[in-house]
Amino acid sequence: MTRDQLKTVFKILANVYPNFEVSSEKLDIWHEFLQDQDANAVMERVKAHVKEKKFPPTVADLREQKEKVPPYYDELMYDINAGEDWA
């Protein structure tokens, strides 16, 4: 996501949420954490957030969400010998 694309996001958020403050410092910080994200995907998250939430999103709300899985889950799913010691 480029700074110009993020400026568009900020314009939307500032118009929808009157208390959303825009500053160059805030733009710099948000860009640091969103520059690796796909702009179209972020914009879709913005639209979804605006439709559902009364408060503006955080950076975390706009980043791609990974499915949270317990750390041991993958080991259990792919260990073909799991449970043999119990037999």
**Mind listing the pLDDT tens digit for each residue in 12-56?**
999 999 999 999 999 999 999 999 999 999 999 999 999 999 999
Distance of CA 60 to the CA centre of its chain: 4
**Both structure tokens of 69:** 């899985």
Phi-psi region of 56 (alpha: psi -120 to 50; beta: other; left: phi over 0): beta
The pLDDT score that the predictor gives to residue 79 is: 60
The pLDDT score that the predictor gives to residue 64 is: 85
The pLDDT score that the predictor gives to residue 70 is: 62
d(CA 34, CA 23): 16
Q: Where residue 65 falls among pLDDT bands split at 50, 70, 90?
A: confident
CB of 13 within 8 A of CB of 43? no
Q: Name the pTM for this structure.
A: 0.73
